[in-house]
Structure 1
């Protein structure tokens, strides 16, 4: 029974990772004003899982907005989009995770890939989508699972995004983002509580 539950959670985190990556990529592509119909569709999930994907995708989107303001990151995305192949993808992910994996780095990677896909998608669906999904399965999924899965990421991602946002500016916009993130933490906590209660 316990082994079966563990296997279900592993499959859930894998599906969640795939849906989150695809959802975030579509958000970035649509933000750039490009039709995202050529990207693969996420797999159906339960309503609770969809709500959590929504929460985490929103936090990734806000982190992406902070990445947008980083000129160095934008230059890196431009350069990567011009030469994207499996070798440069491997170099990118090695650079992102060279000193360890964190929720913030995972979210940043999703943002960078989304921005890259938006730059090169007008020609065709880039190979970078399957590369990213394979990288999640092969390199990040065990780390995600060891931290309690995506369900437990919400508060960590909110803290990362809030710290990144408030660290870059102390404007009223940053303060309102902080209020939104705290609301997200509360909603995420409620969803996690409901999922654990139902298990």
Structure 2
């Protein structure tokens, strides 16, 4: 597939929306929980570009399964979920791009983490934070990541990189080490957030 004329901006936006939607499909509540209105992005008219988004979405799901088995990643998500405000995304970016370097693995980790956090915000009945989180990620993609993606040859170039994805490498290089005090806070915040989510699920069942 040629990269000439590939709308990398639209592909990146469509991929983020797909990742968020996929995360809601994993919520075991019989389909009763749906995300608030997602931002409208420019549709992809070219079937090849649509297929690329589907392939990228599948790659994110596979990588996400690996990330879900990584305790450091889950600890970071729990800490961020306790912020309950727009600062969630800023802190997420600070962790994922802690040394200022961009690579395909980190972009995918960012997208997947936003999807997981988005679900937590909706289940905790925080639609405003959900919207701010998704909007902030779209803005960050457009202003910070898109130029790098184009310089690397576009989204099509990410496919081969994703096949070499290493959770161990990403975990070591993309997330700050969490001090023990923060882990304790994350534990109690996780209990609180979990209680809210369980209450929401019971109400919707």
TM-score norm. by structure 2 comes to: 0.69
Distance in 1 (alpha carbons) for counterparts of 2:25 and 2:14: 16
> What's the C-alpha RMSD, in Å, of the aligned pairs?
2.2
1:77 counterpart residue number: 77
- Contact 2:10 2:43 (C-alpha < 8 Å) held by counterparts: no
Q: How does 1:159-198 map to 2 (within 5 A)?
A: 159-160=164-165, 163-164=166-167
Paired position in structure 2 for 1:114: 115
3-state SS in 2 of match to 1:44: coil
- Matching residue of 1:171: none
Cα distance in 2 for partners of 1:42, 1:57 equals 16
Q: Cα distance 1:142–1:84, how it changes in 2: closer, same or farther (>3 A)?
A: farther
Gap regions ≥5 residues in structure 2: 169-205
Looking at structure 2, the residues matched to 37 and 117 of structure 1 have their Cα atoms a distance apart, in angstroms, of 10
The superposition leaves residues 126-167 of structure 1 with CA deviations (integer Å, 9 ceiling, x where unpaired) of: 11000000010111111111100101111111221xx449xx
In structure 2, what is the Cα distance between the partners aligned to 1:31 and 1:40?
21
Cα shift at 1:15: 0.7
Give the whole-Å Cα distance in 2 for the aligned partners of 1:88 and 1:112.
11
Partner in structure 2 of residue 21 of structure 1: 16
Matches within 5 A, 1:1-12: 9=6, 12=7
Unaligned runs of 5+ in 1: 166-199
1:61 is matched with which residue?
Answer: 61
Separation of aligned partners in 2, 1:140 and 1:84: 25
Count of aligned residue pairs for this structure pair: 156
Distance 1:139 1:96 in 2: 13
Alignment partners' CA distance in 2, 1:31 and 1:115? 10
The TM-score, its normalising length taken from structure 1, stands at: 0.71
Q: Are residue 148 (structure 1) and residue 186 (structure 2) matched?
A: no
1:38 maps to: 37
User: What whole-Å deviation, never above 9, does each CA across 1:5-38 have from its counterpart, x for those lacking one?
Assistant: 98x54xx111111000010111012212432363
> Relative contact order (alpha carbons < 8 A, sep ≥ 6): 1 or 2 greater?
2
Distance 2:89 2:145 in 1: 15
After superposing on structure 2, the runs of 4+ consecutive aligned residues of structure 1 that deviate more than 6 Å are none
**Structure 1 or 2: more helix by fraction:** 1
